[in-house]
Chain A
Amino acid sequence: MSISHKLARQFVEKFELIKNEKGSDLSIGDIDGLFKHLKGEHEEKLFEGIHNIAGKLSSIKIEVADPLPNMSEGIIPDTNMELDAVVKAAEDATNTILDSAEKIQNIVTNLDEDKSTIILEEITKIFEACNFQDISGQRINNVVNTLMEIETSVNELLAELEGKVTIETKAKEVKAPSDDDLMNGPQLEENTPSQDDIDKLFAGS
Chain B
Amino acid sequence: MVDKNMPILIVDDYKTMLRIIRNLLAQLGFTNVDEATDGTMAFAKLEQKPYNLVISDWNMEPMSGLELLKKIRADTRFSQLPFIMITAETKVDNVVIAKQAGVNNYIVKPFNAQTLKSKLAAVFGNF
Contact = CB atoms under 8 A, between A and B. Distances in A.
B66 A182 contact: yes
Contacts of A179: 64, 66-67
Given A120-B27, A185-B88, A185-B89, A131 B111 contact: yes
Contacts of B23: 98, 101-102, 105, 127
Interface in A175-205: 177, 179, 182-187, 192-195, 198, 201-202
A201 B95 CA distance: 8
A130 B16 contact: yes
Interface stretch (B3-11, B48-56, B75-83, B101-109): B101-109
B97 to A, nearest CB: 7
Interface string A98-115: 100110010000000000
Contacts, number: 102
Nearest to B116: A128
A185 B109 CA distance: 10
B97 A198 contact: no
Which size bracket describes the interface of A in this complex? 35 or more
Contacts of A135: 88, 109-110
B113 A202 contact: no
A155 interface: no
Contacts of A201: 92, 95-96, 99
Contacts of B58: 183
Nearest to A196: B108
Interface of B: 12, 14, 16-17, 19-20, 23-24, 27, 58-59, 64, 66-67, 88-97, 99, 105-113, 115
- Minimum-distance CB pairs A-B, first 5: A131-B110, A186-B88, A128-B112, A195-B108, A127-B23
